[in-house]
Amino acid sequence: MKTFDIVVVGGGGAGLYAAMEAMKTNPKLNIAVISKIYPNRSHTSAAQGGVNAALANTAKDDTVESHIFDTIKGSDYLADQDAAEVLCRDAPGIIRELENIGTPFSRLDDGTIAQRPFGGAAQPRCCYCADKTGHTILQSLYEQCLRKGVNFYNEFYILELSHDNGRLKGIIALDIKTGKIVPFNSRSVIFATGGYAKMYWNRSSNAAGCTGDGQAVAYRAGIPLKDMEFVQFHPTGLRKSGLLVTEGARGEGGYLFNKDGERFMSKYAPNKMELGPRDLVSRSIETEIREGRGYDSHAGKYVHLDLRHLGADLIKTRLPQIRELSMYFEGVDPIEEPIPIVPTAHYSMGGIDADNDGRTIMKGVYAAGECACISVHGANRLGGNSLLEILVFGKRAGHAAAMEAQENDPSPITESELQRQHKYIRGFHHHDKHERYGIIREELGKNLADNVGIFRTKALLETGYENVVELKKRFKKVRVFDTGDIYNTNLIQVLELQNMLDLSQTVAMGALLREESRGSHTREDFPVRDDENWHKHSMFEYCDDDICVSSKAVTMGKYELQERKY
């Protein structure tokens, strides 16, 4: 059995940056990247608008301190201030490294990297590659990993984090191509598997694969999750599909209108207007729709995002993908017509509890990117900070893992562990199982959208939690009707559903217990932020198929608690 120095689980921006940095730190290391799809198709490619860094190219007076404060304020003061400082101070160096490896950033007339305004930011500091920023960064990182000799195992699905009473042994994965159970012995494991917002199903901007696999596997292995109740709804998803319309569309000057022709953000964020923080803009749109000022159609209620005044040249050069998506999925050309939009489940602030270098409580196990909760986003993430997070903390986790990998001497993954996984998977084919994946999957998505959405109450959350518990019971009777081994997508979907059910239970429980409104978490029965009782992180541990909930203090710094106004 081969032992790797580092196994990175996930081939998106965080995983690839971690692998690249680890190889740069120690080129002699044997590093594997495990991905359930091909890395250059990871969800990082869906990040359109840009990545924040205080370069002061567009706004000459921008500073790192301003970026730090914007991030902490945007988080509704739940971000750990030391982590936010690391994020923002590392940002300019990250952008320069990406530039040096060939990322094709859009440019100003003087040749410097262009920066556009984004929501909740005091200055235009979002660096971008038209509206395909994540895609271009992903390709650049993948090229560098191939160049440096990283081993790629594509189309492998993680099943279990193998450990001996908390001592890491590696991971166990399913080879999707063959159906074989494969052990990956490793001195270190870095989780970089992305978010879990696809659990909201048809009202989500996430790709189908964003099912929280890394968080669920770590959770069941005894590693705590943090702040799972904070799920961000992006203000502008396409009405029919939920596909993302980048914040860059508003950063370039797009307007939001209701059916009365009113640019309604003047009521909610008179200073920032459409560039208020995402949680505020999403609530504002939802309020307009709930109070009857939205448009109505067979595809649902919505408001308009109007780009027409920007002109054809700007839309074609800076927002070409948005135009393409609008034409394909909504049948409107934003040069000629407004885009129908509605808030869409977009980002997971919660995840695997990790420190500023990605370390978890299990020695040798790290987490980075959206699957981690290093607490830079707190209760609400600012646009442009997600790509930055995966790059900064992917790099830091890769460096830490490379420096510490030789400290671990894992024992082999046993044959009995592989057989246990094989038996579990085969159990889904049993003839006495009758529940179907699609029915439970659709019910989970509808339950979360209806009961654990943008606006929350005790009654809704209790219903949402009870429904998840019932769906988990029904899941034990789910049958995989495809009995083949090769590319058994029915099996993968069922395994993903198990992960989403475990995580959705923590989301609903955390939202039910948190009796306040903060950032993306809005309780209509507790409309005020309660710093005395709830200025703390929620912690979730797996306890024999139940949840043990506790709390953790927020790390403060120079910025004192204050009301968040825009």
Is pLDDT at 211 greater than 80 in this prediction?
A: yes
Nearest of 288, 318, 322 to residue 302 by alpha carbon: 288
Residue 417 phi/psi, 5-degree rounding, is -65, -40
Question: For the domain that residue 427 is a member of, what is the CATH number?
Answer: 1.20.58.100
**Other C-beta atoms within 10 Å of 217: how many?**
24
Cα separation, 265 vs 281, in Å, equals 8
Is pLDDT at 1 greater than 80 in this prediction?
A: no
CB within 8 A of 44, min separation 6: which ones? 12, 13, 14, 134, 135, 137, 138, 387, 390
Query: Do 161 and 270 fall into the same domain?
Result: no
Band (202; pLDDT cuts 50, 70, 90):
confident
**Domain for residue 566, yes or no?**
no
541 and 551 Cβ atoms separated by less than 8 Å: no
Last residue of a domain, one of 407, 429, 454: 407
**Residue 119, pLDDT score:** 82
Cα separation, 559 vs 552, in Å, equals 19
Last residue of a domain, one of 293, 313, 343: 343
Band (172; pLDDT cuts 50, 70, 90):
very high
Mapped onto helix, strand or coil, the DSSP state of residue 66 is helix
**Other C-beta atoms within 10 Å of 52: how many?**
29
Between residues 527 and 299, the one the model is more confident about:
527
Buried b or exposed e, range 283-301, using 16+ CB within 10 angstroms: bbbbbbbeeebbbeeeeeb
> The tokens of 346 are what?
């977009």
**Domain for residue 219, yes or no?**
yes
Cα separation, 418 vs 440, in Å, equals 28
**Domain for residue 561, yes or no?**
no
Query: Do 385 and 442 fall into the same domain?
Result: no
Q: What is the DSSP letter of 453?
A: S
**Domain for residue 563, yes or no?**
no
**Domain for residue 541, yes or no?**
yes
Query: Do 16 and 141 fall into the same domain?
Result: yes
Query: Do 450 and 474 fall into the same domain?
Result: yes
Helix ranges (DSSP H) in 28-119: 64-74, 81-100
Q: Show the CA angle centred on residue 156, arms to residues 150 and 160, nearest 5°.
A: 105
Buried b or exposed e, range 85-109, using 16+ CB within 10 angstroms: bbbbebbbebbebbeeeebebbeee
Is pLDDT at 299 greater than 90 in this prediction?
A: no
**Residue 28, pLDDT score:** 95
Question: For the domain that residue 295 is a member of, what is the CATH number?
Answer: 3.90.700.10
Provide the domain count of the chain: 3
Beta bridge partners of 188: 6
Q: Which residue has the tokens 């195992």?
A: 153
Query: Do 40 and 143 fall into the same domain?
Result: yes
Mean pLDDT estimate for the chain: 95
Across residues 383-408, what is the average pLDDT? 96
**Residue 217, pLDDT score:** 98
Query: Do 399 and 421 fall into the same domain?
Result: no
**Residue 566, pLDDT score:** 85
Q: What is the DSSP letter of 413?
A: P
Query: Do 323 and 393 fall into the same domain?
Result: no
**Residue 274, pLDDT score:** 93
Domain range spanning residue 433? 415-553
Per-residue pLDDT reduced to its tens digit, 490-510: 999 999 999 999 999 999 999
Band (544; pLDDT cuts 50, 70, 90):
confident
**Domain for residue 504, yes or no?**
yes
Across residues 299-322, what is the average pLDDT? 94
Question: Given 116, 239, 278, 381, which residue is catalytic?
Answer: 278
Question: For the domain that residue 227 is a member of, what is the CATH number?
Answer: 3.50.50.60
Last residue of a domain, one of 300, 326, 343: 343
Expressed in percent and rounded to 5, the helix, strand and coil fractions of the chain are 40, 20, 40
Across residues 36-56, what is the average pLDDT? 93
Across residues 353-367, what is the average pLDDT? 98
Query: Do 92 and 224 fall into the same domain?
Result: yes
Residue 514 is a catalytic residue = no
Query: Do 225 and 351 fall into the same domain?
Result: yes
Nearest of 502, 8, 479 to residue 228 by alpha carbon: 502
Per-residue pLDDT reduced to its tens digit, 98-142: 999 999 999 999 999 999 998 889 999 999 999 899 999 999 999
Q: What is the DSSP letter of 207?
A: -
Cα separation, 113 vs 106, in Å, equals 6
Query: Do 333 and 444 fall into the same domain?
Result: no
Across residues 234-244, what is the average pLDDT? 92
Cα separation, 92 vs 380, in Å, equals 22
Nearest of 300, 302, 264, 259 to residue 281 by alpha carbon: 264
Across residues 220-243, what is the average pLDDT? 95
Between residues 566 and 43, the one the model is more confident about:
43
**Domain for residue 565, yes or no?**
no
Secondary structure (DSSP) of 267-331: HH-TTTGGGS-HHHHHHHHHHHHHTT-SB--TT--BEEEE-GGG-HHHHHHHSHHHHHHHHHHHS
Task: Say how many CA atoms lie within 13 Å of 90 toward its Cβ.
Answer: 22
Across residues 481-491, what is the average pLDDT? 95
Query: Do 203 and 59 fall into the same domain?
Result: yes
Q: Check residue 469 and give left, alpha or beta (phi > 0: left; psi -120 to 50: alpha).
A: alpha
Across residues 335-346, what is the average pLDDT? 95
**Domain for residue 99, yes or no?**
yes
Is pLDDT at 2 greater than 90 in this prediction?
A: no
Per cent of the chain over pLDDT 70 is 100
Which H or E element spans position 203?
none
Cα separation, 450 vs 464, in Å, equals 8
Across residues 500-526, what is the average pLDDT? 97
Task: Say how many CA atoms lie within 13 Å of 465 toward its Cβ.
Answer: 18
**Residue 201, pLDDT score:** 80
Radius of gyration of the CA atoms of the chain, in A: 22
**Residue 120, pLDDT score:** 87
Q: Which residue has the tokens 């509890």?
A: 353
**Residue 183, pLDDT score:** 97
258 and 303 Cβ atoms separated by less than 8 Å: yes
Give me the sheet containing 303-306, strands edge to edge: 231-238, 339-348, 303-306, 255-257
**Residue 545, pLDDT score:** 76
Query: Do 437 and 495 fall into the same domain?
Result: yes
